[in-house]
Amino acid sequence: MASRLEGKSAIITGAGSGIGRATALLFARHGARLVIGDKAESVHETAKMIREDGGTVNALQMNAGREDDVAKMVEAARGSYGGIDIAYANAGISGGLPGIFDQSMDDWQQILQVNLIGPFLIIKHAGQEIMKRASGSIICTASVAGLRSGAGGPAYSASKAGVINLVQTAAQQLSGTGVRVNAICPGLIETGMTERAFEYAREKGVEEKIGRLNPLHRAGQPEEIAHVALFLASDESSYVNGQAIVVDGGLSSSHPVTRQETGKTAA
């Protein structure tokens, strides 16, 4: 397997499970030296998996929405690897699916702190370090919920819409530096964040209905997002900048419609 990130260093938040863990494992297999962070202790299990696979990694328990913690991640990469080439702001929380009148200001602040301020902090601190290399990539996890309503709670959706605009704004702010900033917008992916929904469907015997709203008729896996992150981190995406790349099985390709039977047309 070709090593698409050989000699490069990367930081990844939310690497304790799901998309973050899958991406950390994939980046390491392609030669990247990593600093990974997560609020959960499971980040150390991810690090163990990487080391057992022959990779190089430092793991930190941290809060992606705290500036001091993000700065420590950047400093760890600088101290261990001499700098940063890639930064992936992946950490996020869902906040569930309450109505707009049911969420408190504290709920909104907590969700925005991690989901939107977290990526800002990665761009602020890691971006300055990547600029020293005159080339590199910053990736942020947004969501299809940031594109339009119907895929998440109000605060979550607003936070992810903010991430999409943030990467567009940051790409312009970093104009001429050689640093690219892009977002990935996952659809329904089987991760810790969606675990309860998957477990409920399995208990009810309706697992086959998960993901039926998209044209592929299935949910996605963390590895499918990780491969898009690998593309954005690598030199293969050297002319991709300021974009929000949707990975959702085609869910967002259409507005909701009444499904027509094969061979019949809408009136």
Q: How many CB atoms lie within 10 A of CB 184?
A: 26
Residues 121, 65: contact at Cβ < 8 Å?
A: yes
Alpha carbon 198 to chain centroid, angstroms:
20
Residues 197, 211: contact at Cβ < 8 Å?
A: no
- Residues contacting 62, CB < 8 A, separation 6+: 13, 37, 38, 39, 69, 70, 72, 73
**Residue 158 structure tokens:** 């607003």
State yes or no: is 156 an active-site residue: yes
Radius of gyration from C-alpha coordinates of the chain: 19
Residues in the chain: 267
> Which one of 88, 156, 200, 239 is the catalytic residue?
156
Buried b (16+ CB within 10 A) or exposed e, 190-218: bbbbeeeeeeeeeeeeeeeebbebbeeee
Alpha-carbon distance 9 to 81, whole Å?
Answer: 7
Buried b (16+ CB within 10 A) or exposed e, 144-174: bbbbeeebbbbbbbbbbbbbbebbbebbeeb
Catalytic residues: 156
